[in-house]
Amino acid sequence: MLDFLGRLFKGSEGSKTKAKERLRLVLVHDRASLSPGLVNALKEDLIEVISKYMEIDEAGMEVMFDEGDDSVALTANIPVKSVKRRVD
């Protein structure tokens, strides 16, 4: 009975929700490390877009996944040489 009430109040949340959350995150890590090709393509696109607005140091540019315990962030470190007066 207690078990039943517990489930009633928790909503129908069993351990599968936890499984799904953990899987999601672990797959972001897995896929990120699996696909340097993807990161390179992203880098090229970023250069193209940003170059419209400013001159950047392409060689010194870094794009990577920053992996925390419960999150993954995309970080880009892009040295700016000069900012343009108007959009190309």
Partner 1 sequence: MGKVIVITSGKGGVGKTTTTANIGAGLASLGNKVCLVDTDIGLRNLDVVLGLENRIVYDLLDVVEGNCRLRQALIKDKQYGENLVLLPAAQTREKDAVKPEQMLELVKELREMYDFVLLDSPAGIEHGFKNAIVGADAAIVVTTPEVSAVRDADRIIGLLEAAELYEPQLIINRVRPDMVRKGDMMDISDIDDILRIKILGVVPDDEDIIVSTNRGEPIVNDKRSKAGQAFRNICRRILGEEVPFLELQERKMLNWFKKILSGEAR
Q: Pull the structure tokens for residue 21.
A: 């959350």
CB environment 12-26: b (16+ within 10 A), e (fewer): eeeeeeeeeeeeebe
Regarding 82 and contact with partner 1 (CB under 8 A), the answer is: no
To partner 1, the closest distance from the beta carbon of 55 in angstroms equals 36
Q: Are 63 and 38 in contact (CB under 8 A)?
A: no
The reply on whether position 17 binds partner 1 by CB under 8 A is: yes
Least CB distance to partner 1 at residue 15 (A): 5
d(CA 50, CA 33): 25
* Site for partner 1 contains 26 (CB under 8 A): yes
- In the bound complex, what is the minimum distance in angstroms from residue 59's beta carbon to partner 1? 28
CA 16 to chain centre: 24
Residue of 4, 5, 13, 70 that binds partner 1 (CB under 8 A): 13
Interacting residues toward partner 1 by CB under 8 A: 7, 12-17, 19-20, 22-24, 26-27, 30-31, 34-35
